[in-house]
């Protein structure tokens, strides 16, 4: 059993899985991750997942788009090719608000998509990685790092008490779809 990387507890009901998380945490067993086929309210707080910083990233991507557009418009309209149209100033800010707003949204959207792919390692063309294929269908999976938690029989008993339908020992980190 020295080659085991993860112990996977498979549950058929989200309430049983939440009970399993409680039992494991009461016994100071570190949970690697939880895989569910649907969002479960409150699971992030229970697992101690930190708050996402995507809102901060969105702000900086948006500011970058705004500054980029205003800089380009200022350079094009006031520095490179100033044209006197009806006595208006070369850099009339109200005229450029709509396109500046559009570029702000564009930079924010592309930046957040890129950030999501980078943080989740789900780049286009990469094979999906899951611990158990049934986690995307109808099972709720608790993955426990076997190296950090050497008491495998205790973990098995706790998962069975919580209502696990199946307990598997995964020798690889991920299972591919192929």
- What would the pLDDT profile of 124-168 be if each residue is shown by its tens digit? 777 766 677 777 788 999 999 888 888 888 999 999 999 999 988
Strand order in the sheet with 166-170: 31-35, 140-145, 6-11, 166-170
Asked if 6 and 168 count as a contact pair (C-beta separation under 8 A), the reply is no
Other C-beta atoms within 10 Å of 136: how many?
14
Taking the C-alpha atoms of residue 46 and residue 141, their distance in angstroms, rounded to an integer, is 15
What pLDDT shows up at residue 176? 53
Taking the C-alpha atoms of residue 50 and residue 44, their distance in angstroms, rounded to an integer, is 8
- In the three-class reduction of DSSP (H, G, I as helix; E, B as strand; rest coil), residue 93 is classed as helix
pLDDT, tens only, 22-56: 999 999 998 988 988 899 988 998 998 888 888 99
- The C-alpha angle 157, 43, 54, rounded to 5 degrees, equals 140
What pLDDT shows up at residue 80? 87
Quote the mean pLDDT of the chain.
Answer: 87
pLDDT, tens only, 89-130: 888 888 899 999 999 999 999 999 999 888 887 777 777 666
CB neighbour class for 41 (10 Å; exposed up to 12, middle 13-18, buried from 19)? exposed
Higher pLDDT pick, 19 / 125: 19
- In the three-class reduction of DSSP (H, G, I as helix; E, B as strand; rest coil), residue 143 is classed as strand
Taking the C-alpha atoms of residue 23 and residue 144, their distance in angstroms, rounded to an integer, is 13
């Amino acid at each position: 059993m020295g080659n085991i990387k993860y112990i996977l507890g498979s549950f058929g009901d989200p309430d049983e899985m939440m009970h399993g998380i409680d039992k494991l945490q009461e016994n100071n067993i570190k949970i690697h991750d939880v895989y569910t086929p649907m969002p479960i309210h409150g699971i992030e707080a229970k697992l101690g997942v930190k708050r996402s910083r995507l809102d901060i990233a969105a702000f900086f991507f948006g500011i970058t788009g705004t500054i980029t557009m205003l800089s380009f418009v200022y350079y094009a309209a006031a520095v490179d090719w100033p044209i006197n149209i009806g006595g208006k100033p070369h850099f009339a800010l109200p005229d450029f608000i709509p396109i500046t707003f559009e570029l702000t949204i564009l930079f924010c959207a592309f930046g957040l998509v890129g950030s999501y792919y980078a943080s989740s390692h789900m780049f286009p063309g990469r094979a999906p990685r899951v611990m158990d294929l049934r986690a995307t269908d109808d099972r709720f999976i608790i993955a426990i790092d076997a190296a950090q938690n050497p008491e495998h029989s205790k973990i098995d008993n706790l998962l069975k008490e919580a209502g696990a339908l199946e307990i598997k020992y995964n020798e690889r980190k991920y299972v591919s779809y192929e």
